[in-house]
Amino acid sequence: MDVFIVKDYDAISERAAEILSGAITQNPRLVLGLATGSTPEGLYARLIQAHRAQGLDFSQVTTFNLDEYVGLGPEHEQSYRRFMDEKLFGGVNVRPDNTHVPNGLAVPLLQECRDYERMIREAGGIDIQVLGIGRDGHIAFNEPGTSLGSRTHVAGLTRQTIEDNARFFDSPDDVPRFAISMGIGTIMEARKCLMLASGAGKAEAVRACIEGPITSMITASALQMHPDTVAILDEAAAAKLDRADFYRWQDESRHLIEERL
């Protein structure tokens, strides 16, 4: 895993936006995997800025989101479809038909999961997958104990995740207990993963993900087996890493070989 430690949340968003803008410029038909949550909001704001100011073109880009709450429709204030429309899709020129978020109202749900996998395959697979990380080490809604080979599935949320997400709902009782979520196996097939983490609340999960053993108890740790994962962390999220000095040193030294890569 390539680990970059930057000063603060703004710097995470900036660096991630540079990577995605560069990738879209290089391949206008990029298939982008996207995440919801507080962490990628700054990244999405910068992509909208890049679209407006520099004409970053999303007209041929295809997107697949990681997950959606079961039972929430696209119009629901807290649905991830609505989040994406508001935070990114509405501000860039992506074609609505090319944006995919699992349908949380689908019946049967298992068919929706299979269809989602098929659509990803038919799009040629995901080129870059944006990821946040939960305090319990989850990526997407792959909570501790989820198979590291899992595909898109109906995932149960832990009490901790429900509490963490309750801030967006009137009460914890309103947070859905299930979601449709890409599996770890699905995420691992993305050609590149971009994991973002900010704040002291994520420091333990980040340590376990990057430096702990690979285990389904920390599903993000599967990324240690991924051939091209970039983790962008702020100082607070990186605070528990044993090898933080090494990651910083690598980053500082990169210019020495950049031209040869």
Residue 47 burial (CB < 10 Å; 0-12/13-18/19+)? buried
Q: Are the CB atoms for 3 and 210 separated by under 8 Å?
A: yes
One of 51, 67, 100, 234 is an active-site residue; which one?
Answer: 67
Closest contact distance (angstroms) between CB of 38 and ligand PGA is 4
| Residue in 37, 104, 137, 183 binding ligand PGA, rule: CB under 6 A | 37
Start-to-end C-alpha separation, the chain? 17
Closest CA to 104 of 80, 73, 66: 73
Q: Are the CB atoms for 239 and 200 separated by under 8 Å?
A: yes
**Piece in contact with ligand PGA (CB under 6 A), picked from 37-45, 169-177, 221-229, 233-241:** 37-45
Residue 41 designated active-site:
no
Closest contact distance (angstroms) between CB of 239 and ligand PGA is 16
Site string for ligand PGA, 168-197 (x = CB under 6 A): ------------------------------
One of 112, 127, 143, 234 is an active-site residue; which one?
Answer: 143
Closest contact distance (angstroms) between CB of 189 and ligand PGA is 19
Closest CA to 214 of 148, 158, 146, 160: 148
- Integer Cα distance of 45 and 87 in angstroms: 7
Residue 100 designated active-site:
no
Q: Which residue is closest to ligand PGA by CB? A: 37
Beta-carbon contacts of 184 under 8 Å, excluding residues fewer than 6 positions away, are 139, 142, 146, 147, 148, 149, 150, 219, 222
Q: Are the CB atoms for 68 and 112 separated by under 8 Å?
A: no
Q: Does 38 bind ligand PGA (CB under 6 A)?
A: yes
Residue 125 burial (CB < 10 Å; 0-12/13-18/19+)? middle
Closest contact distance (angstroms) between CB of 141 and ligand PGA is 8
Residue 245 designated active-site:
no
Site string for ligand PGA, 120-159 (x = CB under 6 A): ------------xxx-------------------------
One of 68, 100, 112, 138 is an active-site residue; which one?
Answer: 138
Pick the closer one to ligand PGA by CB: 98 or 126: 126
Which of the residues are catalytic?
Answer: 67, 136, 138, 143
Q: Which residues bind ligand PGA (CB under 6 A)?
A: 37-39, 132-134
